Amino acid sequence: MRANTLIMIVLAGIFGILAVVLANIWLAGQRNALAQSKGLQASSIVVAAAPLKFGDALSVDKLREIAWPAGAVPAGAFKTIKDALAGNGTRQALQTISVNEPVLASKITGPGQRATLSAVLGEGMKAVSIRVNDVLGVAGFVFPGDRVDVLLTRTVHSNDGPDKSFVDVLLQSVKVLAVDQVADESKENPQVVKAVTVEVSTKDAQKLTLAAGAGQLSLALRQAAASKGEETERVTLSDLTGETPEDVAKRQAELERQKAAEAAAAEERKRADDKINGLAQAVERVGDQIDKLSKAKPATTVAPAPQPQEVVKEVVKYVQPEPPARATIGVFRGVKLETYDVPRQR
C-alpha cells in the first residue's frame, strides 16, 4: 500500500470521529434546552383572533387564549377572555391590533368607554388641531400615528428696511393623532384633509396656538424610526439665492416703486373714468332738458300788423363808351409780321 493512500485513510477516520463527537455535543445541548423549557411554568394570554381597528368593539369571537411563558407576560396583558371583557359595557380598540398580537390594557378602552382621542392621549399631553391644505399637509400622506415636524413661516415688516421672511422649525417629532375626524392608524389611502390633530405638551400647545396667528404652519413628515430631535437653524431668503441684505433691500425697493407706480396709474385711470362719467351725466342731463323742451307746447303769439313800406324804383341807363384814339395795324412782309400804331380816324 502506498504511503499517500494510508495517510488519506487515517485523516478520513479522524475527521469522521470529530464529526460524530460534535454532533453528539449539539444534540445534548438541544436536549438540555428542551428539558429546561418544559420545566418553565406555563401561563396563558389573550391575543386578537381577528384584526382590530380603532373603534372596533371587543367580543368573544375576536379574541382567543394562547399559552405563554409565565415569566414573559407583557405588562397590561389579560390571562383569560373573561378578564378582557370584564366590567359593565364593551371595550373598544384604541389602535390597530394584528392577529395573534397580545391585547393590552393600553390598547383598549375601559369597560363602557368609547374610543376617543382623550383615551389615546398620554399623561399630561394635549391634542391640538392645525389647519392644513393639499400642500401644507404633505399632499395627504400624513396618517394617524406618524411623526411630523411643524414649520412656521413668517414675514416681519420693518419701517427702516425691507420686509424679512424666514422659516423656523417650531416643533420636532410630534405624533399625529388624527387627520380630519379620522383617528384610525390602519388608514392607508392618501387623502387631502383640512386639519391635522397632533399630541403635544401644554407649552407646545400654547406655541402652536400662538404660531397659528403669527404666520403659516406647515408639516414635514419624518422617518418612522426617527424620533430624536436634530439641530435646526432659521432659513431666510438670502439662504435661497445667496443674496446679501443690500441686494434684498434693492429688490424690495424696486418692488415698492413698481407698486407705487401701479397705484398712481390706477388712480389716474380712476380720475379719467370719473371725468368721462361726469361728461356723460352732463350730456344726459342736457338731453333730458331738450326732450322736455321739445315736448312742451309753444305759446300762442300775435303777429304785428304789417307796416307800409316805401317802394324805390331803380332806373338803369346804358352809356356807350368812347372808342380808343389809336389802333394797331399788322402788315406781313413775306413771312414776317410788322405792326404799326396809327391814330384812329373818326
Q: Are 143 and 184 in contact (CB under 8 A)?
A: no
List the Cα angle 216/221/223 in 5-degree steps. 155
pLDDT value at residue 201: 92
Give the confidence band of 203 by pLDDT, cuts at 50, 70, 90. Answer: very high
* SS3 category, 181: coil
| Residue 79 or 183, more confident | 79
For the chain, how far is it from start to end, CA to CA, in angstroms? 192
**Res. 320: pLDDT tops 70:** no
| Residue 326 or 130, more confident | 130
What residues are paired with 197 via a beta bridge?
129, 178
**Res. 226: pLDDT tops 60:** yes
Question: In which residue are the cell numbers 406618524 written?
Answer: 146
- The CA-atom distances, in angstroms, between 166 and each of 64, 155, 170, 215 are 56, 7, 12, 10
Q: Look up the CATH number of domain 42-115.
A: 3.90.1210.10
**Res. 311: pLDDT tops 80:** no
* SS3 category, 96: coil
pLDDT value at residue 39: 52
Give pLDDT tens digits for 232-256: 888 887 777 766 667 767 777 888 8
Give the confidence band of 345 by pLDDT, cuts at 50, 70, 90. Answer: low
**Which three three-digit cell numbers place residue 197?**
390633530
**Res. 298: pLDDT tops 60:** no
Tell the burial category of 328 from Cβ atoms under 10 Å away from its Cβ (0-12, 13-18, 19+). Answer: exposed
pTM over 0.75: no
